Structure 1
Amino acid sequence: MSTLPVTSLLHSVQFQRKSKHRTTSLALFALIVVSFYIFFIARPSLNLAPIALRPDSRSRTDARVHVEDKEPSPPSSRLFRFPPKSPNNVVRPQIKLDESQELAAVAAFVAALPQNTIPHSIDPTQPIDPQLVLDFDTRNPRAEDEVKQIVEEVWSRYPVMLFAKLHHGNSREIRTMFSNMNLRPSPAMFNVDQREDADVLIPLLHRVTSSTELPLLLIGGKPVGSMADIRELHASGELAKMVTDAGGVIDGAKKKKGH
């Protein structure tokens, strides 16, 4: 008699558990059906618009790029910055450099970093590709203004520049001339024959300056002439005047040390 209520109680508990499992399974199935409907059927009708950038965010970005383009010397540092793309991806024509601009671009490139070398693949008898020696997008709308800035900056920073040979009597003579002037800024002097790109750089310099030999002396970005011309200008005092006219300060380095 006492076992019947216990057996009935067990059957009741099992029935309730089965009922709960069925209810849970039905609820889970209903949740899956509703989720499927929301994400795969009803979603196209939500008309979600893309989030637009604030109008002034692009202008601030452009302003920062503009400031970076105005970084101080050395010009054409070749610490490659990726320039901003032209609006609407417009492909603009490559700028063309005249010989004086090409000389300034190459001089700035060589002076900026010791590892900057002219690729052996180029033909020195033909105008160089500006993008090889300039550190900005040479197809952008401001490219011509950028080139003018490079020309001004390189000859302002290096009013005297000498392309010479390491073991050469004329080269040593010119170095001594300018060493005695104690110039500020100091002359930029390059032993071209010791460079890896000598076979390309030397004929390139001859082409853009119409010179035929080294050493090649540039004052204010202009070739001075032959060794005989340099000696004559130095003896007459005209060489020193050319240097000061180009922005060099004679004995400037000595006064700076005195301070």
Structure 2
Amino acid sequence: MSLGPLRRSRTAVLGVIIFVLVLVFYVPWELPSSVKDRRIPGLSRANVAQLARDSKVKVDELYGLLRVVTSQDTGNTLTENPELDPSSPINWDVYAAGDSSVNWRKEVARLNKEYPVIVFSKTYCPYSKRAKQLLRTYKIRPPPKVIEVDTRSDGDVIKALLTRLTGHSTFPNVIIQGKSIGGSDNLHELHSSGNLEKLIKDTGAKVKKTPSNPAQ
């Protein structure tokens, strides 16, 4: 059998490999604007693979924030520094606190089960107190997770993130299985219409007592 075609095939493959190496290492190139707009600190060729992995995550970014604020590690906060821009999408590694083993789809399922109702509150806010009072009358199990934003060092970052991710910039901000239902007035409207109990039960949480009158 003639070795001519085989040699030509090997030469063609070698040529393609050389072309790719030259393109990657010697030809200037830029990341697409859609990637650069993510404004991830330290963006370089070295972490392009990380970005590719992140792009496959089809999870609402709000769950990243929920993971941080419900962490049992009280030191797990969103660092306030000039490189962290809460007005833009944040690298999932930040929400994972550097834990590359986090499976975000499993995290969503866990957070929905363990913390079906989460309230972002401020300790001195009368509207927050009113919302928490109403939720207490429902005797929800598992009980609502209350995040007192004003007692956290990353409170300003959390506020900015909530504004971007939920469109609700004031407190309280009531989250039911990853969806913001708004603040105290919205919560009481749902209660008065009789829809709040169903909304809570639909999460799988238990309501041990339905209040007969709205909390004022």
Structure 1 residue 101, shift from structure 2 partner: 2.4
More helix by share: 1
Cα distance in 1 for partners of 2:198, 2:114 equals 18
One-letter amino acid of the counterpart of residue 137, structure 1: S
Q: Unaligned 5+ residue runs, structure 1?
A: 1-89, 253-259
Cα displacement string for residues 217-244 of structure 1 (whole angstroms, at most 9, x for unaligned residues)? 0111100124322111011221111011
Cα distance in 2 for partners of 1:105, 1:188 equals 16
1:108 matched to 2:67: yes
Q: Which residue of 2 aligns with 1:133?
A: 95
Q: Which residue of 1 aligns with 2:78?
A: 118
Compute the RMSD of aligned alpha carbons: 2.5
- The answer as to whether partners of 2:162 and 2:169 remain within 8 angstroms in 1 is no
Q: 1:232 to 1:98 in 2, by over 3 A?
A: farther
Rg comparison, structure with higher value: 1
Cα distance in 2 for partners of 1:154, 1:215 equals 19
- State the TM-score, normalized to the length of structure 2: 0.67
Cα distance in 1 for partners of 2:181, 2:58 equals 16
Cα displacement string for residues 151-200 of structure 1 (whole angstroms, at most 9, x for unaligned residues)? 11111110000001101111111111111111111110011012111111
Cα distance in 2 for partners of 1:161, 1:99 equals 22
- State the TM-score, normalized to the length of structure 1: 0.56
Cα distance in 2 for partners of 1:231, 1:177 equals 8
- The answer as to whether partners of 1:124 and 1:204 remain within 8 angstroms in 2 is yes
Identity, % of aligned positions = 28
Q: 1:178 to 1:100 in 2, by over 3 A?
A: farther
Structure 1 residue 116, shift from structure 2 partner: 1.3
Cα displacement string for residues 16-42 of structure 1 (whole angstroms, at most 9, x for unaligned residues)? xxxxxxxxxxxxxxxxxxxxxxxxxxx
Q: Which residue of 1 aligns with 2:138?
A: 181
| 1:28-177 map, 5 Å | 92-94=49-51, 95-96=54-55, 101-112=60-71, 113-121=73-81, 122-134=84-96, 136-137=99-100, 146-177=103-134
Q: Unaligned 5+ residue runs, structure 2?
A: 1-46, 210-216
Tell me how many residue pairs correspond in the alignment: 158
Cα distance in 2 for partners of 1:123, 1:104 equals 17
Q: 1:187 to 1:99 in 2, by over 3 A?
A: farther
